[in-house]
Amino acid sequence: MVPVSYYLILSGILFTIGTVGILVRRNALIIFMSIEVMLNAVNLTFLAAGRYLNSLDGQVIVFLVLTVAAAEVAVGLALIVAIFRSRGTTDVDEVNLLKW
Amino acid sequence: MLYQAWIIPILPLLGAAANAFLGARLGKRFVSLVACGTVGLASLGSAWVFADLTRLPAGERLVMLPMYQWIGTGDFQVNFALQIDPLSAVMLLVVSGVSFLIHVYSTGYMAEDRGYARYFTYLNLFVFSMLLLVTANNFLVLYVGWELVGLCSYLLIGFWYERKAAADAGKKAFIVNRVGDLGFALGVMLIFVTFGSLDYQDVFAGAPQMLAVGSVTATTITLLLFVGATGKSAQIPLYVWLPDAMEGPTPVSALIHAATMVTAGVYMVARTHALFELAPFSLSVVATIGAVTAFYAATIALVQTDIKRMLAYSTISQLGYMFLAVGVGAYAAGIFHLTTHAFFKALLFLGAGSVMHTLGGETNMLKMGGLRLKLPVTYWTFVVGALAISGFPGLSCFFSKDAILWQAFASPRGGMVLWAIGLATAALTAFYALRAVFLTFHGESRLTVEAEGHIHEPPSNMALPLALLAALAALGGYLGVPGILGGSDAFGSFLAPVFRGEAWMALETQAPANELGLMGLSVLAAFLGMGLAWYFYLARPEAPGVLARRFGGLYALLVNKYYVDEIYGGLVVQPLVALAHFLGERFEVTVIDGVVNGVGRTVAASGAWLRRLQTGFVRNYALSIFLGAVIVLGYFLFR
């Protein structure tokens, strides 16, 4: 039996990877994938905690998160496609018109 | 009809509304029909009410017409209520009747004016306001009417607002009236504080119990009310607006001077006599101001060359008579003079208007002369008016002025001095009235050739009101022939139930020989004035010039109206204008604008600095979100 702390540590590592990915990468698609990694890190925490506490609530929430994430992916990818069409790049530093 | 009397004030209001909204579209025929029709119906209604009222026994002639509850908050209960009693009925008849004649006259006088519909809208509104004022059943409704006549006078005096003089005169009338209205409003508030009610019945019935004779409260209330009256009725010190009010169309002057507006103050003092009776000091103030104003204004009228201004000062003088009457407790005599004055002053103004009309707006009497043969109708009606105001025996003013002088002499509140001032004024009145007749209608024509060619008699819609008013001015006095001349003073005894003043009753027992003697003296004074006018302006036309040179200082004082306008201008107007300039050009620019602009500049500066946060790089935003999350998390973990 793997102790729950392992799951939490793995989840923390995944979340950190995602965060760093968002902060350091410029490609919108990579940033997007990093967000997904962060989401799944959180999902893992929920599952581990649910298993540890003998509760189904964690799994229920994970289903909810998956559903929302699916919708979010659809919208996000559509946005990235639209940006690419209009500006010919997916580099977020090139998309900086909204500023002072 | 008594219980439907509320229709009377409503009719002119409906007329005003119809003319305001439809008048410009439906043409002059419609406007004249509506304006004259509604006021005509109102005067018919007044006559009906009057007739119904006389059929009631003398003691029961008081009809209340509560319309609806107007204000009801806690202790402050005011109904919108009207009342009909002998005083209201007389005022209704005078106001609506004279107004009707002036309306008819106006259809001729204003026929060519662009603002025809606007003019009649204001005129109807004016009549409505005055009818409301005289039928009010409590002080608040009275106040509404009081303010509305002020507004209407402003609108009508400044009717030709393209002319600066007219616009200024309108403003002056309104502002001077506001000064008086402030006093009146304070008086009404003090009445409410004292009596807890604004209804006439409650206040007048409660007054003798709640206030001692001569108490400070009673004196304060009545003096405040009288301040309002001096503004509205053009007495010293607030009379200055009335001569300038001549900038309005002449029928408006007739309306203001005869039927509406200036009589409001006299009516109000007579109406609240129950309060004034408790304040002997206030009554003596009223009588003194009245007598002094009468004399003072008459002296100014002596030297005016503008026919309308001369009539304006004459009105101030005659109003002084009315205040003299109510001040000595002769309320019925005051209202009687108000009535006869309405007839002859409307007549004189409309006569002057018809002279001006035919001379293309000329008002300077020195440029007229010799119009007697060319304008016979105007001439004869004007002569009737002038003789009436002079107190020619048998004409209306003879009876009313005599009643006032007699009571000023005999009343316990009057005395020799008041009577002597009144008598001197009577002589002056006769002089200036006849002077106007001689300068305008007699002697050599001083008209320009061009004006001479245009002269024509007024059309019938102007001549007919003149004739009717002449008849009223001649015969109106027979309403109140005093007992000493074999009459029964029907006017006085009709009003007697309203005025229970002891002073008035006490006169009944006075020796009649006195009254005849005084009457003879005042007739003598009138003939003296007329004779002097004849000597100066017909027999020896060069004499006035000689006299003016001989007494140059006095003449200049009178021509310049005692410099009162200049004094007021220096003491009140200039400092206020200077203050306004300071506030407008210094305070506004530096302080107010400084604060407003300062706020704007601060926000703009901080925005300019803060907008650097908005880099446009998504990762910067993500970093700040991340750091924020860490800080929040850290706070909850380590607190």
Inter-chain residue contact B615 with A99, CB threshold 8 Å: yes
**What pLDDT does residue B228 have?**
92
DSSP bridge pairs for B73: B76
Q: Which of B614, B615, B619 to mutate to test the interface with A (most CBs of A within 10 A)?
A: B619
Identify the pLDDT of residue B188: 93
Q: Which of A19, A22, A100 sits opposite B614 (nearest CB)?
A: A100
Question: pLDDT band at residue B48, thresholds of 50, 70 and 90?
Answer: very high
pLDDT for position A38: 93
Decide if pLDDT at B577 tops 70.
Answer: yes
More confident residue, B167 or B554: B167
Angle between helix B512-534 and B376-390 (nearest 10): 140
What's the average model confidence in pLDDT over B154-181? 91
Q: Which two tokens stand for residue B189?
A: 């508030």
CA angle B175–B183–B248, rounded 5-degree value: 30
Q: Answer whether B617 sits within 8 Å of A96, measured CB to CB.
A: yes
Residue B507, pLDDT above cutoff 70: no
* B24's tokens: 């410009």
ipTM (interface predicted TM): 0.80
* Angle, CA B479 vertex, CA B474 and CA B484 arms, to 5°: 100
Q: Residue B509 pLDDT more than 80?
A: no
Mark yes or no for CB contact A96/B616 under 8 Å. Answer: yes
pLDDT in tens, B208-265: 888 888 889 999 999 999 999 999 998 988 888 888 888 888 899 888 888 778 899 9
CA distance A58 to A4: 14
Instruction: Single out the residue of B429, B424, B403 nearest to residue B414, CA to CA.
Output: B403
Closest partner residue to A99 (CB to CB) among B614, B619, B623 is: B614
pLDDT at B504: 46
Helix (H, G, I), strand (E, B) or coil at B21: helix
User: What secondary structure, in 3-state letters, does B469-512 show?
Assistant: HHHHHHHHHHHHCCHHHCCCCHHHHHHCCCCCCHHHHHHHHCCH
- Token pair of B503, please? 């002073």
pTM assigned to the model = 0.80
Largest CA distance in chain B: 117
Q: Alpha-carbon distance B508 to B485, whole Å? A: 14
B122-B127-B132 Cα angle (round to 5): 125
Confidence tier at B502 by pLDDT (50, 70, 90): very low
* Nearest residue in chain B measured CA to CA from A20: B623
User: B583-596: string of b/e by CB count within 10 Å (b at 16+)?
Assistant: eeeeeeeeeeeeee
Continuous segment of H or E residues that includes residue B231: helix B216-232
Who among B612, B615, B626 is closest to A19 (CB)? B626
Torsions phi, psi of B385, nearest 5? -60, -45
Say if residue B508's pLDDT is above 70. Answer: no
Give, in degrees to the nearest 5, the angle at Cα B324 between B319 and B326: 95
B346 pLDDT more than 50: yes
Q: What is the pLDDT of residue B510?
A: 53
Q: For residues A15 and A3, what is the distance between their CA atoms, to the nearest angstrom?
A: 19
Whether the pLDDT of residue B506 is over 70: the answer is no
Q: Provide the 3-class DSSP secondary structure of residue B138.
A: strand
What pLDDT is attached to residue B425? 92
Query: What is the tens place of the pLDDT at every residue in B412-447?
Result: 787 888 889 999 999 999 999 999 998 888 877 777
User: Around B110, how many Cα atoms within 13 Å sit in the side-chain half-sphere?
Assistant: 26
Tell me which chain A residues have a C-beta less than 8 angstroms from the C-beta of B622: 22-23
Sequence-distant (6+) residues with CB within 8 A of B61 are B53, B85, B86, B497
Amino acid identity of residue B315, one-letter, is T
Residues of B in contact with A19 (CB under 8 A): 626
Of B265, B64, B237, which Cα lies nearest the Cα of B145? B265
Distance of CA B163 to the CA centre of its chain: 23
pLDDT band at B511 (very low <50, low <70, confident <90, very high): low
> What is the pLDDT, as a whole number, of residue B191?
92
Is A99 in contact with B616 (Cβ distance < 8 A)?
yes
Mean local confidence (pLDDT), A77-87 = 91
Q: B294 or B394: whose pLDDT is higher?
A: B294
Mean per-residue pLDDT of chain B: 87
Pick the CATH number of A4-87 from 3.40.50.300, 3.10.20.90, 1.10.287.3510, 3.30.450.20: 1.10.287.3510
In order of A13, A14, A36, A39, B127, the CA distances from A17 in angstroms are 6, 5, 11, 12, 90
Residue B368 contacts residue B446 (beta carbons within 8 Å):
yes
pLDDT of residue B428: 92
Instruction: Reply yes or no: is the peptide bond before residue B208 cis, omega within 30 of 0.
Output: no
Which pLDDT band, with edges at 50, 70 and 90, does B500 fall under? low
Is residue B195 a contact partner of residue B221, using CB atoms and an 8 Å limit?
no
A1 class by beta-carbon count within 10 Å (0-12 exposed, 13-18 middle, 19+ buried): exposed
Say yes or no to pLDDT of B451 above 80.
no
**Torsion sign, CA atoms B382, B306, B287, B133:** positive
Mean pLDDT, rounded, for A39-68: 92
Question: Counting every residue, how long is chain A?
Answer: 100
Determine the pLDDT at residue B226.
93
Task: For residue B623, give the nearest of A23, A93, A97 by CB distance.
Answer: A23
Instruction: Give me the mean pLDDT over the B319-335 stretch.
Output: 89
Give the pLDDT of residue B180: 92
CA distance B381 to B437: 11
Percentage of chain B lying above the pLDDT 90 cut: 38
Condensed to tens digits (0 to 9), the pLDDT of residues B297-316 reads: 999 998 888 888 899 999 99
Task: Give the confidence band of B513 by pLDDT, cuts at 50, 70, 90.
Answer: low
The fraction of chain B above a pLDDT of 70, given in percent, is 97
Around B63, how many Cα atoms within 13 Å sit in the side-chain half-sphere?
Answer: 21
- Tell whether the model's pLDDT for residue B505 goes beyond 60: no
